Structure 1
Amino acid sequence: MVARSALPLALSTLAALLAVGLSLSGLAQPSLYQPMTPDRLMPGTLSQDIVSFAAALGLVALARPLSRRGPARLWLAWLGLLGYLAYAYGLYAFETVVNPLYLGYVAVFGLALWAVFAFFARADRNRIRPDTPPRRLTAVLFAVLAALFFGLWLSILIPAMASRIPPEGATIFVFDLALALPALVASAVLLWRGGAWGDVLALPLLLKLATLGLSVLIGTLIGPLWGFAVVRADVATYAVLTLLPAALLRPWWRALAP
């Protein structure tokens, strides 16, 4: 799928190795994130480090087979994991979590982003020929999630704009409203119409949604470590948001078999 893979793989491997060290440091010493991070967001910060560590290990593991012209579906899994790292460390970078590791957050974000650019500059979308994937079901899921989060984020932002008091974690709203949610809408349209780029984006977006949902779910479950009660309705909601995209990963993976 990528004829000249050296640059995107080098950038992603550097980002992944750096993310391994950063996430382990955060897990070993959560106080690194304080006082910049409110107590309410600390469980999510720890869970993000857990998932970032796993995603980074996945990228390192994929580097070897991809350097040998691995199948297209491995590249798409690589893209999804890389998208998660770019999103996660972009939040740290733009939220100005200025601690001794801050430049590392900026570096992971930059390396991951440039690796994505290098991938799309070299990718041959004609190599993606999935065998009857669940395009329309995936399109419906993407459209529903986009509508849900557009509404949810606006319900938080509009009162904040009126009161002129910024909400906590404001970078999430920027990333989602400007990038992530429009990507879901565009992918939904492409998939519904059977466009080739829809096939390219489906598996990476499903993987990113599943990993991001897992991060939020873990953060909810470990809330008691910071004195927050576990709300069953929240656990159920985040479990569904994790499992729905995860359930579609298998049929897409099989449809993209080499």
Structure 2
Amino acid sequence: MNLRKIKNFLFIGFCMGASALGLGVLASILYSLVSNGIAGMGWHVFTELTPGPGSFGGLKNAIIGSLMLTATGIVIATPVGILAGTWLSEADKNSRIADALRFLNGMLMSAPSILVGMFVYATVVVTTGGYSGWAGALALAILALPTIISATEEMLRLVPPTLKEAGSGLGAPRWIVITRLSYRAAGPGIITGILLSVARISGETAPLLFTALNSNFMTTDMGAPMANLPVTIYQYAMSPFQSWNELAWAGALLITTFILVINILAKALPALIKARKVRA
């Protein structure tokens, strides 16, 4: 065996070992999550409110609060992200403003979420004089924006130029070409980006600690502090009460399952839409 084959064998062995190590760590995490999460799971998790210290209860208000915060954040971020991504895709290649916005969008995508929470705290919570669901939804919307902007821009850039030229050749204004042709062609990719942004913000804890805070009561008032799963999990996991620890594991399993379903849907959606178009 010559030296080249030995190097190739060692390199492949190193790659396989690194992959096995990563998969082993992931499997260990998932085993702990599933085993402890199922042990704490039950109908009470969905039907009972978060309990007091050492009491029996569930996560009903936290689940509803998280769904409201995530949905509101996506509703805020989606139109802004799509419009921003559309402008970037249509901007001149030599535009310095567009380049600067892409750079800032990349920075926001990699920025620690706690910084976003502190920003919203300083600009909204302090200004309004209290924590609220609106502040939490705004923080989540800011975190969701980069993914939606990038997905929209990249998908619109993949639209064939001939499609746009055909629309313009028929006398259609530019905005009609974008909304009727480009959006329809890039729709599956844009929706995938939105779904991935949902998965991105569903488990965020730090921004909500500074904005929505938490609540042990059932409330749908976005103008007041709201219960949510990430902060509830954080608080219950750190507590000395066994019942709270079990609820924390159950909540973590719920969030992980939700994110897994969203990611699977995001992967499968383009293929489903394509298959539907072929049948039609």
Is the TM-score greater than 0.5?
A: no
Structure label with greater radius of gyration: 2
